[in-house]
């Protein structure tokens, strides 16, 4: 495996500590569990100094710009760059003052990793550079509660996979045949479809209940109206930072070099529309009315210590899908439903480590035919369900098509999502006392428009 963290910054600045935390993997200094920031990071925070996820924010005074989350604050990268604190890394600093991260992440890992290392250094308790600049600190540290987060990237293309074996088995069991729940192709390739990029919105953006055609099993003709079985899908998406030419392919070994990081993702789904429309070409209006991304892109480098082996793939996969080493990530995931009255219940406890097909295989498969990828593309995992009912990643599975309603603390029941419900996805990794979190991916369903 290629060591991470061998960056321009390290070559120029030679940091004192590079630790070998996991056999065979050289971790960068920014991952050191001993690091502490001079900015307070409360226990249970998603954003310790070892994380430093990238996002885009704006305030009443500030135009959109790049930042990293640290504790309850955001470090304004535009301000830090203007003050000359990133001068040791050679790149056009204007990329940090834009409304998306596309141009920044397109600079590639040597630059983005060097920036992450440098920011880690500036926020390190043992480094006085920024600590001793009170005016700049006042300008460059902004409370997360006082900003508006924006979609972190412009998304040229969006693809949704179907890579959780448990999810595919549950859906196949419900809709087809429990004995042949997985279709014949499923164990041989990561099934996916091309989704809609234009309707991906940032966490906190409400979506109106979609309207469309549905047909009850006993009805002779379809009818039109608001979806009666609106669902969430608990997913994680990866963001591409290195484009390819049309005609070229990305191997499983190269894939991580093309991926900047991960976000939490809610792929809102209208099950009744889906059931009627999906034959024979797959999802369409049941999926493209809105999907939610969390605001912070957690880098693959920050997630490196949390890599785990993938579930054993029982069918021998074709050579282009074979891979070496751990490719999954141990990311705890929860889904909460919050009602209009504020009653809240955790309806799912899942984990990204359950994914049968990993993101390197997904990208290799996606490009094996020569399909080109673009900077900012999002590739979602598909619903992430675990082996037990409390770990299922959609209401379709949790309520088993509505047969087992979920009791809410306010006495109401949920088979699917009701108007004015908010669905909140959270995720984090934890090991050696370090918690790398994703923040929130939250979205409210408003009543259908007239
Ligand atoms: Mn999906």
- For the chain, the structural domain boundaries read 8-150, 158-446
Q: How far is the CA of 398 from the centre of ligand 1 (A)?
A: 15
Cα(302) to centroid(ligand 1), Å:
25
Rounded to an integer, the average pLDDT of 410-424 is: 98
Instruction: State the Cα–Cα distance between residues 181 and 105, nearest whole angstrom.
Output: 40
**Tens digits of per-residue pLDDT, 190-215?**
999 999 999 999 999 999 999 999 99
Q: Which residues lie below 8 Å from residue 333, measured CB to CB, with a gap of 6+?
A: 234, 236, 264, 348, 349, 350, 351, 352, 384, 393, 425, 426, 427
Instruction: Give 8-150's CATH code, choosing from 2.40.160.40, 3.40.50.300, 1.10.10.10, 2.30.30.230.
Output: 2.30.30.230
Asked if the model's pLDDT at residue 163 lies above 80, the reply is yes
Residues surrounding ion ligand 1 at CB below 5 Å: 160, 233, 267
On whether the CB atoms of residues 240 and 314 are closer than 8 A, the answer is: no
SS3 content of the chain, % helix, strand, coil (to 5): 25, 25, 50
Least confident of 30-39, 255-264, 287-296, 310-319: 310-319
- Chain Cα centroid distance, residue 169: 23
**Residue 217 near residue 272, CB atoms below 8 Å:** no
Please state the CATH superfamily assignment of the domain spanning residues 158-446 in this structure: Fumarylacetoacetase-like, C-terminal domain (3.90.850.10)
Residue 292 C-alpha to ligand 1 middle, in angstroms?
11
Binned at pLDDT 50, 70 and 90, residue 18 comes out as: very low
**Largest pairwise CA distance in the chain:** 74
Q: What is the pLDDT of residue 3?
A: 45
Distance in Å, CA 297 to ligand 1 centroid: 19
- Kindly give the distance from the C-alpha atom of residue 159 to the centroid of ligand 1, in angstroms, as a whole number: 9
| Per-residue pLDDT tens digits for 377-397 | 999 999 999 999 999 999 999
Cα–Cα dist 339/335, whole Å: 13
User: What is the pLDDT at residue 24?
Assistant: 38
Q: For residue 314, what pLDDT is reported?
A: 82
The residues that are catalytic are 167
**What is the distance in A from the centroid of ligand 1 to the CA of 221?**
27
Mean pLDDT of 154-158: 98
What local confidence, expressed as pLDDT, does residue 175 receive? 87
Taking the model in full, what pTM does it have?
0.94
Query: pLDDT tens-digit profile of 221-252?
Result: 999 999 999 999 999 999 999 999 999 999 99
pLDDT mean over 255-269: 98
Structural contact between residues 294 and 263, judged by C-beta atoms closer than 8 angstroms:
yes
Distance from Cα 427 to the centre of ligand 1, integer Å: 17
Ligand 1 mean position, distance from CA 291 (Å)? 9
Note the pLDDT of residue 15.
43
Tell me if domain 8-150 and domain 158-446 are identical in fold. Answer: no
Average model confidence (pLDDT) for the chain? Answer: 94
């Amino acid at each position: 495996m290629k060591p991470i963290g061998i960056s321009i910054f390290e070559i120029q600045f030679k940091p004192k500590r590079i630790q070998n935390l996991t056999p065979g993997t050289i971790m960068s200094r920014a991952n050191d569990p001993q690091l502490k920031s001079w900015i307070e990071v409360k226990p249970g925070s998603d954003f310790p100094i070892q994380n430093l996820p990238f996002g885009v924010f704006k305030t009443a005074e500030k135009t959109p710009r790049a930042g990293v989350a640290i504790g309850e604050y955001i470090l304004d990268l535009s301000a830090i760059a203007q003050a000359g604190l990133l001068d040791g890394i050679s790149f056009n600093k204007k990329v940090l003052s834009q409304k998306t991260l596309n141009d920044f992440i397109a600079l590639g890992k040597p630059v983005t990793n060097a920036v992450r290392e440098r920011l880690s250094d500036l926020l390190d308790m043992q480094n006085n550079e920024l600590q001793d600049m009170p005016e700049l600190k006042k300008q460059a540290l902004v409370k997360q509660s006082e900003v508006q987060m924006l979609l972190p990237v412009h998304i040229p293309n969006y693809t949704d996979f179907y890579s959780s074996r448990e999810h595919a088995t549950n859906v196949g069991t419900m809709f087809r045949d429990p004995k042949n729940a997985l279709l014949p192709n499923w164990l041989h390739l990561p099934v996916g479809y091309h989704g809609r990029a234009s309707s991906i919105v940032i966490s906190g953006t409400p979506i109106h209940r979609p309207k469309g055609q549905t047909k009850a099993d006993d009805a002779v003709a379809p009818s039109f109206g608001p979806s009666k079985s609106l669902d969430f899908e608990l997913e994680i998406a990866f963001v591409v930072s290195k484009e390819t030419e049309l005609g070229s392919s990305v191997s499983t070994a190269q894939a991580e070099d093309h991926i900047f990081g991960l976000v939490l993702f809610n792929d809102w789904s209208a099950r009744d529309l889906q059931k009627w429309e999906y034959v024979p070409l797959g999802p369409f209006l049941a999926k493209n009315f809105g999907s939610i991304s969390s605001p912070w892109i957690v880098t693959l480098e920050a997630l490196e210590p949390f890599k785990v082996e993938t579930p054993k793939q029982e069918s021998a996969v074709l050579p282009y899908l074979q891979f070496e080493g751990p490719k999954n990530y141990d990311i705890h995931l929860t889904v909460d439903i919050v009602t209009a009255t504020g009653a809240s219940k955790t309806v799912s406890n899942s984990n990204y480590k359950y994914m049968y097909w990993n993101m390197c295989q997904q990208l290799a498969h996606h490009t094996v035919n020569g399909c080109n990828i673009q900077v900012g593309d999002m590739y979602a995992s598909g619903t992430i369900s675990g082996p037990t009912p409390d770990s299922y990643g959609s209401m379709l599975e949790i309520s088993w098509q509505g047969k087992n309603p979920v009791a809410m603390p306010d006495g109401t029941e949920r088979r699917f999502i009701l108007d004015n419900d908010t669905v909140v996805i959270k995720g984090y990794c934890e090991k050696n006392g370090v918690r790398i979190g994703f923040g929130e991916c939250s979205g409210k369903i408003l009543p259908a428009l007239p």
